[in-house]
Amino acid sequence: MKGEFMIDHIAFVVADPKKTAALLEQFGYQVYRETPHHGGSVEMEDPSQKGLIIELCTKRPQDGVGFNHACLRLESREEYEKMVSGGMKFTGELHLSPDSGRYINNHVDDDQIKWQITI
């Protein structure tokens, strides 16, 4: 499987997304947007690295605090279909996220790390 992939975003679960966002602002990050996703999240962007988002998700009872997932952006649905036909297992069906307006799905690797795919 070859293609051009890039990191779309990295998500962290935190107790207070707005408080963590204020901390990241001190390092030059800017609020990209806020969404109701995951109980409320704040997406932060470093202007010097346009396109790479750090998503700060609200901690829910079932979540641990810390790294949640990395999201890799694919060029096309065909790239996703190649992954599936090559044997990669996903946790559900490719679906439209109402918060981002993009299609997403998740893969959990042998180390139990969640890798999200977006198109």
What is the CATH classification number for the domain harbouring 33? 3.10.180.10
In a domain, 77, yes or no: yes
CB count within 10 Å of CB 104 equals: 18
Q: Tens digits of per-residue pLDDT, 5-44?
A: 688 899 999 999 999 999 999 989 999 999 998 889 999 9
Our count of domains for the chain comes to 1
Q: State the residue range of the domain holding 44.
A: 6-118
Starting from the edge strand earliest in sequence, which strands make up the sheet with 103-108, in order? 30-35, 41-45, 53-58, 6-14, 66-73, 114-118, 103-108, 95-96
The verdict on residue 1 lying in a domain is no
- Asked whether residue 38 is assigned to any structural domain, the reply reads yes
Q: What is the pTM of this model?
A: 0.80
